[in-house]
Amino acid sequence: MSAYHPLHDGWTVTAVSSTRQHRPVVAGLAATVPGCVHTDLLDAGLIDDPYLDDNENRLTWIGRTAWAYETVFTWAGTEDGRADLVCEGLDTVATITLNGVEIGRTANMHRSYRFPVRHLLREGGNTLRVLFDPPYGYAEVQREALGDRPGAYAEPYQFIRKMACNFGWDWGPTLVTAGIWRPIGVRTWSTARLAEVRPLVTLDGPDGRVDVHVTVERATEAPLTLTASVAGVTGEARLAAGQRTAVVTLNVPRPALWWPRGHGDQPLYDLTVRLGADADGAGADGEWTGRIGFRSIGLDRTDDAFTLVVNGRPVFVKGFNWIPDDCFPSRLTRERLAERFAQAAGAGANCLRVWGGGRYESEDFYALADEMGMLVWQDFPFACAAYPEEGPFAAEVAAEAREHVARLSAHPSLAIWCGNNENIEGHADWGWQDDLDGRSWGAGFYYDLLPRIVAELDPTRPYWPGSPYSGSPDLPPNDPARGTVHIWTVWNTHDYTHYASYTPRFVAEFGFQGPPTYATLRAAVGDDPLAPDSPGVRHHQKAIDGDLKLLRGLGEHLPEPTGFDDWHYYTQLNQARAMAFGIERFRALAPYCMGTIVWQLNDCWPVTSWAAVDGGGRRKPLWYALRRAYADRLLTFQGDSVVAVNDTEEPWSGELAVERRTLAGEPIAKECFTVFADRRGTAAVELPAALREWDDQAGEVLVATLDGTRALRFPAEDPAMDYPAAEFDTVVEESAGGLRVTVTARTVVRELAIFPDRLDPRATVDDQLVTLLPGETAVFHVTGFGVRGLNTEALVRRPVLRCVNEAKR
Ligand code: BMA
């Protein structure tokens, strides 16, 4: 009989020692497991919420303190011959003792550990203690021993196997955690147990094949039977005495194929693997179940392209970069992940890139991706630094990579493994080589160790050494014409129209900042009044010169903001426009360009950042703009052309009408064109002179319409336009679960947005940034607010309802 005994109760945490003099006394504090020391201190009221104001600044002592977690648990004995302490995640440098005897030491947050403890367990009370050394102490010792290495931040994150952004990032606070961050418990078993199950799925024509690679751990050398079944097909393997590995191959005739969203359905099949009855370990450890999908995945590099090919079909990747959704990972529930996935899918995405400064994500994450058809690009956790390959690191990296390549192999959503984020670029372009003076920087991981592990354990997935990368170590890594590129000239130095100068193969990162929603910012910052440069707002901006770049980025596009409300609206709007501009450009380049991965979907706390969904889980105007730019069918003005982008399986054909009008709506010129954009194709129509030239640079608009999809082009930037003062009528009515707001424009109304979270932090709206031409109507649904309702007059007035025309007044 095998059994599992979770050990999540009765924990306390004690501050054992610290390299800083000033810290509170913390002894025997009630602790939550899984969890971390910050959340324990917070629950006990010993620290202020690190996400509010500048409280973060007063918590640096935590990462320089040793923390002891301890519990006493009752053990009733076991019939099983084996009992293992299973630690699914320890953060990070830990010494584990059971009843005073040391059973192991760990130094890698990204691994799980298993320690045999049957000989130490006593009937009755047992004391389990996990002592965490200060992460800084460990990292600094490694740095001292191995020699310093350059990195993007003055923190030693490359000297410890812990998620890098825990030490702070250009969107995240420095909150260096310690704790038992994933489940812990005792597992008992006999005879044998399934140590690893690695189902590798391939297609053979229309048929599916699953090679189930199994590794067992044995308590006895007896022969074993292994059974695997999926979709009504069962296979068996015999493990002879002492044999530890086996492969069961299952051939499934004509399975329904798994597709990324937007390309088909996501049928999932239950795969069950059992150790036979002759293993009395059958039970929890003798059985493995998972859900697999049948699909092939490849990377087409023909002529330096970077094209993901699923089931033989090239897929245009419409993605988001994903960062850890909370600084304290144990707070991430499946519900919260599901909300983020719904937000990514709602914006039209078919891919999430799990960025290398974070971690390998949870089972829930990949299960959601499988169910929703969200392709996962998985970085190995290395980012923005030269990483040492000596000391403990080669062995640690090999162990964690082996564990996760095997663990994630079952998930059809997992599309590609990537060696790191920006380390190859850093080494080539950021002056690291001088500082390194010949010391290792991780090349051995990205070019040798990691690809060998992927090839050995999961040859069904492509591997890419890093991003950006051009396909060969001797090529400039961030060459737009080869492989993947990260475009950061826009945001750092250039106006967003500079995206138009790029003709990339695949944009794996590009981003533009905007502040979080009002409700999120207001809840995080006590500043009164709120101002773009008030102390709390400034603290919640981590990027170098971020606030300056936000303002500079407005360029000629929008007026210089006076006061908080204009600043908030214009910078959010500019973020949305910048990213839509880039995406439209890159999608129009398909199939030369085959992917855009927006930096970034989410935040880990309330902050001004590149995210589309802020740290409070609220959608920024960017999200609504992306939903338009990522729509399956997109009409976009590019240079002298209108381009129809068709990311569907049906051709998109019809009559494209392009009309030049005055802002008041009077027609000046109009032409119609027959357009045919093939399935997953694009079609460009060059505009004749009458539609390319303006009579009045400040008073016209070009309107292109195809099949209910519309694109607008204004001749000049907003401050140079002769917009009339916006005139519109509003009707606010109750409707199921909320309010329906009908806006009818009497004049042109540019990028109208309602921000109901200013009236009630729970309230949301279903659309934003809608441009109306005279006579047009838009309907918005506002939901989520409390029973007392919303102030319906305030809802349709500044600063809740905004449009760009107001800039003129
Ligand atoms: C890229 C990312 C992150 C960073 C972002 C914004 O470099 O890989 O490191 O947060 O840009 O600067």
Specify the ligand 1 atom closest to the Cα of 543. 12
> 10-residue block means of pLDDT along the chain (809 residues)?
93 86 86 98 97 97 96 96 97 98 98 98 98 98 98 98 98 98 97 96 98 96 94 96 96 98 98 77 70 98 98 98 97 97 98 98 98 98 98 98 98 98 98 96 98 98 98 98 98 98 98 98 98 98 98 96 96 98 98 98 98 98 98 98 98 98 98 98 98 97 97 97 97 94 98 98 98 98 91 96 80
C-alpha of residue 371 to centroid of ligand 1, in Å: 28
**Main-chain phi, psi angles of 506, to 5 degrees:** -165, 120
- Per-residue three-class SS string for 338-365: HHHHHHHHHCCCCEEEECCCCCCCCHHH
Which pair of structure tokens corresponds to residue 42? 């917070």
- Per-residue three-class SS string for 738-766: EEEEEEEECCCEEEEEECHHHCCCCCEEC
Which domains can be identified in the chain, with CATH numbers?
3-187 (2.60.120.260), 191-292 (2.60.40.10), 305-379+484-631 (3.20.20.80), 635-720 (2.60.40.10), 728-802 (2.60.40)
C-alpha of residue 510 to centroid of ligand 1, in Å: 9
The Cα 129–Cα 762 span in angstroms is 42
pTM, to two decimals: 0.97
Supply the pLDDT for residue 808. Answer: 54
As for ligand 1, residues whose beta carbon falls within 6 Å of it are: 169-171, 357, 383-384, 421-422, 509, 599
Asked if 27 and 14 count as a contact pair (C-beta separation under 8 A), the reply is yes
Ligand 1 pocket test, candidate residues 478, 488, 601, most atoms within 8 A of CB: 488
Q: Which three-class secondary structure state does DSSP give residue 191? A: coil
Supply the pLDDT for residue 281. Answer: 44
Identity (one letter) of the amino acid at 46?
A: L
Ligand 1 pocket test, candidate residues 509, 579, 597, most atoms within 8 A of CB: 509
- The residue whose CA has the least distance to atom 9 of ligand 1 is 384
Question: Nearest-CA neighbor of 253 among 299, 290, 210?
Answer: 210
783-796 CB burial, b ≥16 within 10 A, e <16: bebeeeebebeebb
Pairing of strands 351-354, 317-322: parallel
C-alpha of residue 527 to centroid of ligand 1, in Å: 28
C-alpha of residue 507 to centroid of ligand 1, in Å: 13
Ligand 1 pocket test, candidate residues 155, 513, 599, most atoms within 8 A of CB: 599
Of how many residues is the chain composed? 809
Asked if 618 and 520 count as a contact pair (C-beta separation under 8 A), the reply is yes
Query: Residues 6 or more apart from 174 whose CB is under 8 A from it?
Result: 56, 60, 63, 155, 167, 168
Supply the pLDDT for residue 736. Answer: 83
